[in-house]
Structure 1
Amino acid sequence: MSVCNVSLQVIPKVPDEMTYPVVDKVIEYIQSTGVKYEVGPMETTMEGELDFLLEIVKKAQEICIEEGASRVASIVKIDYKKEGVTIDEKIKKYRG
């Protein structure tokens, strides 16, 4: 399967002061997987094989619950094409 991009926004149901710490745990997990990723203000975009990235999405839900969320809503976006798609091809021209 080709390289694709998956963007993930987790919205854990926790008290306001716990939102960032829970999201930080998810980002720490993403970092630990070794995938290429970019953190944005609303979501984290990852680059890799679709099946592996979807496993990360699945684990992110579990992390939110383990960190105290009673529920988690997630927004997932997938950009896939047969020949592959990279983060750089989409945003390279916007970087200095």
Structure 2
Amino acid sequence: MPTVNISLQVLPRVKDERLYEVVDKVIEYIDSCGVKYEVGPMETTMEGEFEELIDIVKEAQKICIKEGASRVLSVVKIDYKPEGVTMDEKVGKYRK
């Protein structure tokens, strides 16, 4: 299966003072999965096999609820092409 990129933005419905705490739990989970990822100011982008990344997206919803969110709005972007796509090919030239 080709390498894909999936970007995930979770917006858990929690009190404002807990927002980053809950999002941090999701990022900790992503880190524990061993996939390549980059945290950005608005979303986290992951690189890997499609099914594995989709499973991470699904679990992220459950983590937010477990952490006290009454609802979770998530924005998911998928970049897929048959020969694969990497974060480096898209943004590598901008890194210093």
Return the TM-score normalized by structure 1. Answer: 0.99
Unmatched segments (≥5 aa) in structure 1 = none
Paired residue total:
96
- Does 2:17 match 1:47? no
Question: What is the alpha-carbon distance in structure 2 between the residues aligned to residue 76 and residue 95 of structure 1?
Answer: 24
Write out aligned runs for 1:68-79 (5 A): 68-79=68-79
Give the aligned partner of residue 83 of structure 2.
83
Give me the identity figure in percent: 72
Unmatched segments (≥5 aa) in structure 2 = none
Question: What is the alpha-carbon distance in structure 2 between the residues aligned to residue 95 and residue 3 of structure 1?
Answer: 21
Q: Which runs of 4+ in 1 moved over 2 A?
A: none
Give the aligned partner of residue 66 of structure 1.
66
- The two structures, once aligned, show a CA RMSD in angstroms of 0.3
SS state of the match for residue 55, structure 1? helix
Question: What is the alpha-carbon distance in structure 1 between the residues aligned to residue 72 and residue 92 of structure 2?
Answer: 32
Return the TM-score normalized by structure 2. Answer: 0.99
Shift of 1:85: 0.1
Q: 1:78 is matched by which residue type in structure 2?
A: I
Give the aligned partner of residue 25 of structure 1.
25
